[in-house]
Amino acid sequence: MKLYKLTFNSLSSISKLPDAQTIFGAVCCIISFTQGEDVLERYITSFNTNNPLFVHSSMFIDTLLPMPKVGLISIDEKNKNMSSLSEKEQLSYLSHLKGFKKIRYISYDVYKDYIVDSRFNDLRKDIESNKLKIENGIVSKTNADYQLADQLVYHTNKETNVDEDRLYYDNNQYFPDDTKFTIYVKTDDIKFVKSVFQYSQYFGFGSRVSVGKNCFELVDVDMIQYPKSNNEVLLLSKCIDTTFDLEESSYTLSSETYKGSYYYSSNTIGHFNKFEEGSFMRITENKEYYGRLIEADNGKKIYHYAIGFVI
């Protein structure tokens, strides 16, 4: 399978960048409405083979990847450093450590120069010596020009036959106007991928599309090549898989209950524990992707995307 980068513009405010499961739901909806149920069935059943029509990642800011879930300073080293410091120096040292915890993303150059070869000690040293910059939770070789911001937005729901208005809120994320966004895809049929994602601006990725949120326009498709380690992979989507060497991996887990969409079936699909994006997994077998599509039947057949897209 070839690796592609799909680039998007945002056409609206954003609740949050969609993960791979959210994108999968939108893909199924787009295929169903624009190409029909037969094509949707062909897409779904292709996951039962070793060569699905395509697999995709979560969405990221263009040129950025999730920071690997690797502790740059071990607990033993932290304790050793703390024991040799005065009380005042300990506070300064703890403040210094917080900077590492706030890292959310890395630039592609950092991935290529440090992560592929697991040079995490060098990564830490170069951050501490200011060879690399941390700005807005992003590690890069130059100051990252991304002013990431979250804001809760409050709304009033005016209902008939109700004396008081009902207050509710949702989240907005803000980015510079010229920010591009990326979804990575592996496929042998990029024409089919384009036929789906060209409609993304009309269907959106996620909730509240009907009120003008979470709409993205496909603007570019590029075939790319990323360097890859022989022993580890970086997850770019949440994943359920039992073949990783967990003792040699660095990861975090999300634990969530998922439901189907309201228009199709709001029944609960299941409660899943998944490796999160940025998990740095030691592999026992080199594959294009890990995990699987999970099928549930709660009156209607529903699918959950638990496929780990990796580089």
Q: What's the angle, vertex CA 248, arms to CA 228 and CA 123, rounded to 5?
A: 55
In this predicted model, what pLDDT tens digit does every residue of 113-154 receive, in sequence order? Answer: 999 999 998 998 898 888 888 888 899 987 655 555 555 444
Of residues 300 and 202, the one with the higher pLDDT is 202
Mean pLDDT of 169-196: 89
Listed in order, strand segments (DSSP E) in the chain are 2-10, 54-61, 64-66, 105-107, 133-135, 138-140, 149-157, 166-174, 180-187, 216-223, 232-234, 245-250, 253-259, 268-275, 280-282, 289-297, 301-309
Question: Which top CATH class is 1-62+178-225?
Answer: alpha beta
Mean pLDDT, the chain, as a whole number?
84
Of residues 135 and 195, the one with the higher pLDDT is 195
pLDDT at 155: 46
In this predicted model, what pLDDT tens digit does every residue of 13-62 receive, in sequence order? Answer: 888 899 999 999 999 999 999 999 999 999 999 999 889 999 999 999 99
| pLDDT at 165 exceeding the cut of 90 | no
pLDDT at 187: 97
| pLDDT at 111 exceeding the cut of 70 | yes
Among 156-170, 183-197, 287-301, which is the least confidently predicted range?
156-170
Q: How do the domains of the chain map onto residue ranges?
A: 1-62+178-225, 66-140, 227-310
Among 138-147, 211-220, 301-310, which is the least confidently predicted range?
138-147
State the pLDDT confidence band at 266, using cuts at 50, 70 and 90: low
Q: pLDDT exceeding 90 applies to what percent of the chain?
A: 51
**Is residue 264 a contact partner of residue 300, using CB atoms and an 8 Å limit?**
yes
